């Protein structure tokens, strides 16, 4: 009696987990990749350390630590905010605008000179240790090279990846 009970309790780990394991589909994998790419282009990972700082009037601002230029006489000095509001466009807007303009003028634009895809086959690297990774994770498609790395991957990034 006792023995039977034990085996029932233990069951097969692989089968148990198999039900829980979610396989990420192609679109989601692509979204994940895009997130990684965005992270690689980001300026900072952390939040602004001064964000919670309440700026008192004593705090020096940009303009204060610079002496006034003597050349500028009549007009009032424009603040940096003036330019930010006047030329407020993000990068994507600029690219789109330029592309339309270039299409009309028939000139080469920013988008046109982007390098094409390579003819060479892509190489795959283990996401954990960085050596060649010959196997890919069933769930998320990341590469790994050995059982050891697979386990690390499963415990850390697989399905838990958040940018």
Partner 1 sequence: MSHMDSSLSDEDLDEGQSEVKRIRYDSKIYNVSRRFEKHQRPRRTRLASRDSHSFHVKESNLQGLIFDNGAHTIKINYSFEEEPKIIPNCIMKAKSERKRLFIGSQIDECRDCSGLFYLIPSERGYITKWDVQKPIWDFVLSKNVCPVNNYPVIMTQPLFNFKSIQDCIDEIFFEEYEVSSMFRLNPTDLAVLQYHKEIGAKPPCIIVDSGYSFTHVIPYLEGKKYLKGVRRINVGGKLLTNHLKDIISYRQYHVMEETFVINQVKEDTCYVSQDFKSDLKAAELPPSKNHIIRNYVLPDFNNIRRGYIQDRDQKDEIAENCQILRLNNERFTVPEILFHPSDIGIKSIGIAEAVCKSIFSCPLSFQKDLAKNIVCIGGSTKFDGFRDRLFNEVRSMIPASWEVNVYQPSDPITYNWMGGKVLLKDPEFKSKLVTKQEYEECGMSAIQEKFNQWSIIDIEETVQSKPKIEPVSYIDHLKKYDVFGKGIVSEESSENNEKKNENPEESRKCEEEIDVSSKNDGEEKLNLTDDDKFKLP
Q: Under a CB-based contact definition with an 8 Å cutoff, are residues 157 and 151 in contact?
A: no
Q: Under a CB-based contact definition with an 8 Å cutoff, are residues 128 and 149 in contact?
A: yes
For residues 21 and 58, what is the distance between their CA atoms, to the nearest angstrom?
57
Longest Cα–Cα distance in the chain: 99
- List the interface residues with partner 1, window 60-89 (CB under 8 A): 60, 62-63, 65-67, 69, 71-72, 75, 77-78, 80-81, 83-84, 86-87, 89
Enter the DSSP assignment of 107.
-
Q: Closest approach of Cβ 81 to partner 1, in Å?
A: 6
- List the interface residues with partner 1, window 116-145 (CB under 8 A): 116-120, 122-123, 125, 128-132
**Closest among 134, 137, 126 to 24, alpha carbons compared:** 137
Stretch that binds partner 1, among 4-12, 17-25, 35-43 (CB under 8 A): 35-43
Question: Whose Cβ is closer to partner 1: residue 7's or residue 118's?
Answer: 118
Q: Is 154 in the site for partner 1 (CB under 8 A)?
A: no
Residue carrying the six token digits 């697979």: 150
Quick one: tokens of 161? 């990846």
Quick one: tokens of 115? 């390098």
Binding site for partner 1 (CB under 8 A): 33, 36-37, 39-46, 48-50, 53, 59-60, 62-63, 65-67, 69, 71-72, 75, 77-78, 80-81, 83-84, 86-87, 89-91, 94-95, 97-98, 101, 107-110, 113-120, 122-123, 125, 128-132, 156-157
């Amino acid at each position: 009696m006792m023995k039977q009970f034990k085996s029932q309790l233990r069951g097969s780990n692989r089968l148990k987990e198999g039900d829980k394991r979610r396989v990420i589909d192609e679109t989601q994998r692509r979204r994940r990749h895009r997130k990684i790419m965005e992270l690689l282009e980001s300026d900072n990972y952390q939040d602004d350390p001064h964000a919670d700082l309440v700026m008192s009037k004593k705090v020096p601002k940009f303009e204060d630590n610079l002496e006034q230029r003597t050349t500028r006489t009549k007009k009032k000095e424009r603040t940096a905010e003036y330019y930010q509001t006047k030329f407020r466009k993000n990068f994507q807007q600029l690219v789109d605008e330029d592309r339309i303009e270039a299409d009309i003028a028939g000139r080469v634009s920013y988008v046109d000179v982007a390098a094409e895809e390579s003819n060479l086959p892509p190489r795959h690297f283990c996401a954990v240790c960085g050596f060649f990774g010959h196997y890919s994770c069933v769930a998320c498609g990341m590469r790994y090279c050995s059982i050891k790395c697979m386990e690390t991957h499963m415990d850390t990034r697989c399905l838990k990846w958040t940018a």
